[in-house]
Every structure is written in structure tokens, then in C-alpha cells.
Structure 1
Amino acid sequence: MRLLIVDDDQLVCQSLQLLLAKEEDIEVVNIAANGQAAIELCQKKLPDIILMDIQMPVMNGIESTKIIKEKWPSVHIMMLTTFQDEKNIRLALKAGAEGYLLKSTSIENMAQQVRTLKAGSTVLDADVLKTIMEPDRKVFEGLTERETDIVGLIAQGLSNKEIAEQLFLGVGTVRNTLSVILDKLEIRDRTQLAIYYWQRKQE
């Protein structure tokens, strides 16, 4: 997969480039120092995945993410930052980021999470999840309480089997309920459903 690294700290960029390039299935196509440069490189290189910092000069990562996802929706964006505050997490997800990792993540885990993101799953660091997973019993419009529970667990990255175990349901029941949820909300897959969930939590 083709990877673009965006961070205003040159040492971080070079370190990530060196370490991730050792992975057989990852090709680091370029590095960028700010969000504007990331947009320009997307035009030229069209990467599969972008590792995007948040606080950068010229244009920050959240603004850049919004523009890139509007222009190239197939590009997957993983925020990679030291910021763990709820506001930045929610703004990044609302802008279109499908993943949010902390820079303290090991290279091995980061590479695996990049693969998970490329496969179409939402990726959130465990500490990030703790930051934003406040008790929220708000039932989304048009969904039952049980359907809302399932959406919340999907947003946490749980599989149908894991959801079934947690809610004491059959896997088939979870799968069928998920189909009903997608139809009700007119959403095409579980990744978009997770993004929908976090966007609604931001409102």
C-alpha cells in the first residue's frame, strides 16, 4: 500500500519513513511538513493511506483532512498525534479521518493498524476510546435502544462475534440487526456507520 506521512517535525517524518519502509507491504511515497503540502502531494501521488499530524503550520491536519476527503474520498486518513483531547478527536473524525492513533504507538502496532484501516475498518487507539466513550444513552433517531447499542459497539471496532458475546445475542441476530440499521440510516457499510456514530456524538 502507498503511504504518505505528514508532520511538521522532520525527525518524526524521517523516523517513520525509515521504520515503516521496512514493512514489505508498505511503500512510503513521500513526506510532507503541513496540510497544504499534503493536498499537493495527494494530487501527484494519490496515496492509499495518510498518516496525518494535527498541529502544523500553514494548514493543520484537520483542515487538510476535510479537503482531501472531499477531493479524494478513497484516500484513508489516520491521525497520528500527541493530542488526546476530546475536541481534537471529534473534529478529526468529523472531518473524515477513519483512524486516530497516538505517537506513542509502537511501529509494529502502527503498521498493523494501517493495514486494518486499508481493509476498511475504523481504527481508534485504546486511550483515545477511553477519552471519548462517555456513557451516552441517547437513542439515535429511527433506531431502537438495542440497535443504538450495536452501533456504539461497531464504532468501537468490535466484530459481529464480539458484539454478540457482549450483548448475549447470536451472531446471526447481530448480522441481521446490522443490515436493518444500515437500511434505516441509508449507510452502505460498517465503516461509514462508525463515522456516522462519531459525527452524531459531536453534535
Structure 2
Amino acid sequence: MTDPPIRLLIVDDHPIVRGGLRGMFHGDPRFEVVGEAADGAQAVDLARALAPDVILMDLRMPAMDGVTAIKELARVGVTARVLVLTTYDTDRDVLPAIEAGATGYLLKDTDRDELVHAIRTAARGEAVLSPSVATRLLGQVRTPVDALSARELEVLTLIADGATNREAAAKLFISEATVKSHMLHIYTKLGVNDRAAAVAEAFRRGLLTLDRR
């Protein structure tokens, strides 16, 4: 049985960029572009009306910028994953977007295959970061000893056992957004970019063991 296409909302103030992204997914049965928005305010309205799975969000736009839109999407209860797609990877862009609740952060020079993989990863609720962004977050969040907190270790243990972000949140009585935040901190502390690598690195460092139960 074929999975339904991932529903995409494209948000960018440049029509050429929106057209290029739409064309990139045209004819690919794995994706359906359900709408386009030229600013954050339009994005919030369309997201509520169209229920996309993933929102490709630019950051610097008129009327309402991307970070403000991400916060507003969360406030009004939109459950779509937000994948930032922007030209900028400075601290003043990256950190606020991640803290606002973005599931991923990519730069516009990302090639099609990487973008497709990122969208599918984001649709599953898993964080995805471009290498330069991961490096920047590593420098910001890294502690002197890179020690995982007790809560981060609890989250990673559940992930190692195969739990999704939502399942981990339910078991720990915290929000899914909090689990995602913990996972981003884990990635940066362990110097990895995804869940599988985080689990593998935790075993390598002895933070997780096969007999941990």
C-alpha cells in the first residue's frame, strides 16, 4: 500500500523561489504542494486552512517573519512540521528559529536529494539540520564536558528503545516540543546530526548500555 503524499506549504516572499520549489516537486508522487504564501501571516492562515504536513519556511519576509510565524503556528495549534529553508545561517537566525519550534533548518543551496530526504525526515517529526547549522548549534549549546542531563539521558534511552518523539513525550509527561528540544541539545552535545547517530554515539561513549534495564 502506497503512503499518501506529504502535503507541502511553501512560504517565501520571492515568487521565483516559490515557483522553483513548486517545480521541484511537480510530478513526484511522494509530495503534493497544497499552497504558497508570501509572508508569515499568509502562512499561518493557509496552514490552518490547508493542514499541510510540512511547511518550507523562509525567515526574512515582510509583514511577518519566519520565526514569528513559527511561534504563531504553535500558538494556534497547527501541527505541521516547519522546515526552515533560508539563505542565512547566522546565530540571530538559527537559534531563534530552533527555539521557536522549527523541526529542521536548511540553507537554500541544499540540493534536491538532500531537501527531499530532509522533508521526509521532518514529516516523521525528526530534527534535520544542515552541516553548517549543526556546527553553529554545537558551538552555542556545548557544555564544558558535553555531559547529558538526566532528562536528556531519559529521552535518549526511550529513543534508543524505538520510541517516537510523541511516545517519549507521553511517557515522560512532557510536550513533544520539549522532547524535540532535548534531542537537539543531545545532537549538539554528541556532535551528531540525527537520532540513529545519537544512539550509536551514546553507546560508544558508554552513556547507554545494553543491560541498562
TM over 0.5: yes
User: Residues 110-149 of structure 1: matches in 2 within 5 Å?
Assistant: 110-134=115-139, 135-137=142-144, 143=150, 147=153
Number of the residue aligned with 2:194 = 157
CA spacing shift, 1:5–1:118, aligned 2, 3 Å = same
Deviations 1:147-189 (A, max 9, x none): 49x664446424254224541566636xx59xxxxxxxxxxxx
What TM-score comes out, normalization by structure 1 length?
0.75
Name the amino acid aligned to 2:201.
I
CA spacing shift, 1:171–1:123, aligned 2, 3 Å = farther
Deviations 1:2-32 (A, max 9, x none): 1000000110000000112332211000111
Counterpart Cα distance in 1 of 2:76 and 2:57? 16
Contact 2:48 2:78 in 1 (8 A): no
Counterpart Cα distance in 2 of 1:162 and 1:141? 15
Contact 1:153 1:163 in 2 (8 A): no
Give aligned-pair identity as a percent: 28
Shift of 1:66: 0.4
1:6 maps onto 2:11 in alignment: yes
Decide which of 86, 93, 96 is 1:91's aligned counterpart: 96
CA spacing shift, 1:169–1:4, aligned 2, 3 Å = same
User: Residues 13-92 of structure 1: matches in 2 within 5 Å?
Assistant: 13-92=18-97
In structure 2, list runs of 5 or more residues that go unmatched: 1-5, 157-182
Match of 1:172, SS state, is: coil
Counterpart Cα distance in 2 of 1:170 and 1:43? 41
Decide which of 111, 117, 120 is 1:106's aligned counterpart: 111
In structure 1, list runs of 5 or more residues that go unmatched: 178-203
RMSD, matched Cα: 2.7
Name the amino acid aligned to 1:103.
K
Counterpart Cα distance in 1 of 2:35 and 2:83? 15
What TM-score comes out, normalization by structure 2 length?
0.72
CA spacing shift, 1:141–1:117, aligned 2, 3 Å = closer
Contact 1:101 1:124 in 2 (8 A): yes
Number of aligned positions between the proteins: 173
Name the amino acid aligned to 1:136.
T
CA spacing shift, 1:141–1:147, aligned 2, 3 Å = closer
